[in-house]
Amino acid sequence: QVQLAESGGGSVQAGESLRLACVASGYTFTNKFMGWFRQAPGKEREGVATIYATRTYPSIWYANSVRGRFTVSQDNTEHTIYLQMNNLKPEDTAMYYCAAATGVRPQRLLEAVPEYNAWGQGTQVTVSS
């Protein structure tokens, strides 16, 4: 059974950085799609970044709102992905989730479509101005 656990959230000032981690248990994400999503109060869950992890060169997609500020990476154990968030803004405040598409490729990589069928509990990021 796939279990995902996020960590690294916190409260920071605008312009500061955080690094989130997503550890997968019972699952290796090589040649699979993993996504970072966020949900602010009263808003729909939105995609932040997606990685198709490989042993050599992963493919990565970013939402326009975070491109150039956020970076997704994987570690060599094939169990952890990271989201490095730089130059944080108050509008980045949200609960951040990682998700895995354990079967087929998601039809829309940066949307919380049903193909993302395993989710973590989330980690809160709060950015104050």
**56/113 Cα distance (integer angstroms):** 27
Residue 54, pLDDT score: 84
Render pLDDT for 29-59 as a digit per residue (tens, 0 to 9): 888 999 999 999 999 999 999 999 888 888 9
pLDDT for 128: 98
pLDDT score for 53: 86
pLDDT of residue 11: 98
pLDDT tier at 27, thresholds 50, 70, 90: confident
Q: With bands split at pLDDT 50, 70 and 90, how would you rate the model's confidence at 72?
A: very high
Residue 123 buriedness (CB in 10 A; 0-12 / 13-18 / 19+)? buried
Sequence-ordered list of residues with C-beta below 8 angstroms from that of 111, at least 6 positions apart, any chain: 46, 47
Q: Report how far apart, in Å, the C-alpha atoms of 65 and of each of 8, 18, 68 are.
A: 21, 16, 9
